[in-house]
Amino acid sequence: MALRSRAGTPGIMVALVLFGALFVITLVLSIVFVVQASGAKTRLAEAQRNLAQLASRDDLDNPIVAALQSDRGGTVVGKLLDQQSWAMGKITGQPDASYDVTLAALEKAGVQENQALLPLLATAQERTQAAEAQAKSLQNQITLLAQSVEQYQAAKQQAAATFEKGAQTIEGNYQQQVASFDQFRKQVGDQQVNLATMIDQVQRQSQASNLELRQRNDQLAAENAALRQRVQDLTPARSSEGQAIDPSLLPDGNIVTIDPRGKWVYIDIGRRQHVVIGMTFEVFENIATVDDAGQLRGKATLQVVNILEDSSQCLVVRTSPNKALREGDIIANLVYSPQAKFNFYVYGQFNINNTGEPSDEDRQRIERMITQWGGNIQTELTYDTDFLVLGKQPPAPIPLADIIDPVLIAEETRKRQVYDRYVELVDRARSLSIPVLNQNRFLTLVGYFER
């Protein structure tokens, strides 16, 4: 019994020791647990405070947060930070840029605070596409310009080659021309001596011919002066019976020199005889043909183109078939006279160019011819009038007894007055022995020709 008691005492001791150790361990664990539970509460409270700072209950109930929570693979804040970094990187190019930096960058770019970016991006994209299209068009133009430049360079090179070839050809031709010119100059030098000799001979012959022509001119002038004096002695201006002598029967001068080709002549009246440029003369063989009542013209018509002191050069503007000009032929112009000025009275309507319609304008042309060549125009037919120049004779008027229209009566009255005036002038000119010239005779006696 005693043996069993001593044998069981160590087991109890061991059990007590184990129990004590377990109690101590349990006590320590309890203390540690209490301490850890207190720390956990503290950390939980801190975590709740931090969670309240990060998101409210409404924020946690937001569908976006719920969607992020259901998506495994990270925390909601981490995913939000990833999305923020992606957005900041797209906007500023810096994923770690802050909100303030991003907002300042948007304001600098012209984006308002409440303005959406997608419409701006769409507009920018459209502008970008338009710019790209324009750039593409410009690139095409640049390509075309480059091709044109290449073509121009090729053409320039070809032109340069052509020019070089042409220059060589011109140089060769120039050398040939220089050689030809030297040969020609030598020939001209040889001919100058012969030409000078010929010129000297021609001058001597010309001087002799001019001397002979002057002598002949002086002789004809003397003969013409004698003839004029004889005519004046034989034909006074008016006879004792009061009959007028037609001044158109008197010659004005003579032809003294004729061009061998018959293109021009010299006459023996000039500046001292009051000849003017443009004056015309009829050429007659003798004085009798002048008095032909205008029915037969002279053999030629002359127009003065150059006036000397006592002679004039005339262009032959009209000739008659089979009637050659000769030195000594008589020249006459009805208006012109070296000794006096004739007085003219012009009446009626004329038709100088035969257009079929007589007019007052042609009468004014007749009057200009007279005044230009030295004649006087009178306003009335008087005893001092030398010539009466009449236009086309007006028709005899219709008896007024057969007309009852007042307009026709007035017109016929005017025609009768014109007709009576025409007849009155003819009768009065005859009574005063004044020569009466119709249009044809006047134009013939002044040598008129159509220009």
Q: What is the pLDDT of residue 388?
A: 93
Q: What is the pLDDT of residue 52?
A: 67
> What percentage of residues in the chain have a pLDDT greater than 70?
80
Domain ranges of the chain: 61-101, 253-332, 340-445
Query: CA torsion angle for 274, 279, 284, 289 (degrees, to 10)?
Result: -90
Q: What is the pLDDT of residue 254?
A: 92
Give phi and psi for 244, each to the nearest 5.
Answer: -80, 145
Q: Which residues pair with 330 in a beta bridge?
A: 254, 284
CB 56 within 8 Å of CB 50: no
Q: What is the pLDDT of residue 169?
A: 82
For domain 340-445, the question of CATH label 1.10.3720.10 is answered with: no
Low-confidence ranges of the chain (pLDDT < 50): 1-4, 231, 233-245, 290-295
Find where tokens 């975590």 sit: 47
HEC-encoded secondary structure of 6-27: HHHHHHHHHHHHHHHHHHHHHH
pTM of the model: 0.41
Q: What is the pLDDT of residue 255?
A: 94
Q: What is the pLDDT of residue 274?
A: 86
Q: Which DSSP symbol is given to 359?
A: B
Q: What is the pLDDT of residue 336?
A: 84
For domain 253-332, the question of CATH label 2.60.40.60 is answered with: no
CA distance 370 to 342: 9
